[in-house]
Amino acid sequence: IQLTQSPSSLSASIGDRVTITCRASHDINNVLAWYQQKPGKAPNLLIYGASTLQRGVPSRFSGSGYGTDFTLTISSLQPEDFASYYCQQLNSYPLTFGRGTKVEIK
Amino acid sequence: EVQLSESGGGLVQPGGSLRLACATSGFTFTTYAMAWVRQAPGKGLEWVSSISGDGGNSYYTDSVKGRFTISRDNAKNTLYLQMNSLRVDDTAVYYCARVHVVCIDSWGQGTPVTVSS
C-alpha cells in the first residue's frame, strides 16, 4: 500500500492552522498513525487509529479521515511544533510510511 | 517506564554483516510485536521488519528479504536484527520499535549503520 503525503514541506507562522494530508492507494480500515520527528531524535507518536490522540499529546493536534484519505491538523502552530511529520499504515504488510512533511518557520 | 536501547551499529564494508540488538525494559516483552525501522541520512522513515510477540511470525520489506533476519529472545527481553550482505543503500539509523496493535508507540534512540568501503 502506497501512502502519498502532502505537502512535502510547508512554511507557517506561530498560531497558524496547519493541515497535512495522507492518501492511501487502498482502503486501510483507518489503521493509520501520525508521528512527529525532530532533527536527531526518534519519532514520537501523535495519533493512532486515524483519529485517537496519544496520551500526553497536546489537543491542538487532531486526526481525521477514513478509507483512503486522512488528515493531520495542528489547530494553532506552536514553536515546538516545527518538525517533520509522517503518516504510517499498519493495516497490512509491508508496513509503509508517507514520505514526510517538514513544517518550517515562515 | 518503557525503555528500548539499541546497540551493534557501526561501520562495515559492502558485503559484510552486523547484528543489531535492542534491550528492552518496563513492559511485558512477550505481549508485544516488535519492529525495526530505519532512516537513511536526510531521508524519511522506512519500515524494515516486524516480529510477533511469540516470535512465530516475521515480516520484511522487499529490499532486505533473504539478507536480514529478525529474531527475539523473550527470556532476555531483547530484539535482534542480523544483517548480512550489507549494501551501501543500507546505510541508515536503525530504530527499534514497539508495536501496539495499530501503531508504534515506543521507539529506541537509534543506532547508526554505515556501509562503506
Chunked in runs of 10, what are the mean pLDDT values of chain A (106 residues)?
A: 98 97 96 97 98 97 97 97 97 97 94
Interface of A with B in 47-106 (CB under 8 A): 48-49, 54, 84, 86, 88, 90, 93-100
Q: What percent of chain B has pLDDT over 70?
A: 100
- Per-residue pLDDT tens for B23-39? 999 999 999 999 999 99
With an 8 Å Cβ cutoff, are B103 and A33 in contact? yes
The predicted pLDDT at position B45 comes to: 98
- Per-residue pLDDT tens for B49-85? 999 999 999 999 999 999 999 999 999 999 999 999 9
| Amino acid at the residue A17 | R
Is B36 within 8 Å of chain A by CB?
no
Least Cα distance to B23 among B92, B71, B79 occurs for B79
Question: Using 50, 70 and 90 to split pLDDT, how confident is the model at B2?
Answer: very high
With an 8 Å Cβ cutoff, are A90 and B102 in contact? yes
Distance from CA of A76 to the nearest CA of B (A): 24
The predicted pLDDT at position A10 comes to: 97
Strand B111-115, strand B10-12: pairing: parallel
Cell digits for B76? 532476555
The predicted pLDDT at position A17 comes to: 98
The predicted pLDDT at position A82 comes to: 93
The predicted pLDDT at position B117 comes to: 96
The predicted pLDDT at position B71 comes to: 98
Least Cα distance to B49 among B20, B25, B76 occurs for B20
3-state class of A27 per DSSP? coil
Question: Using 50, 70 and 90 to split pLDDT, how confident is the model at B92?
Answer: very high
Distance from CA of B104 to the nearest CA of A (A): 7
3-state class of B116 per DSSP? coil
Average pLDDT, chain B: 97
CA distance B89 to A101: 22
Cell digits for B72? 527475539
Distance from CA of B101 to the nearest CA of A (A): 8
Question: Using 50, 70 and 90 to split pLDDT, how confident is the model at B101?
Answer: confident
The predicted pLDDT at position A32 comes to: 97
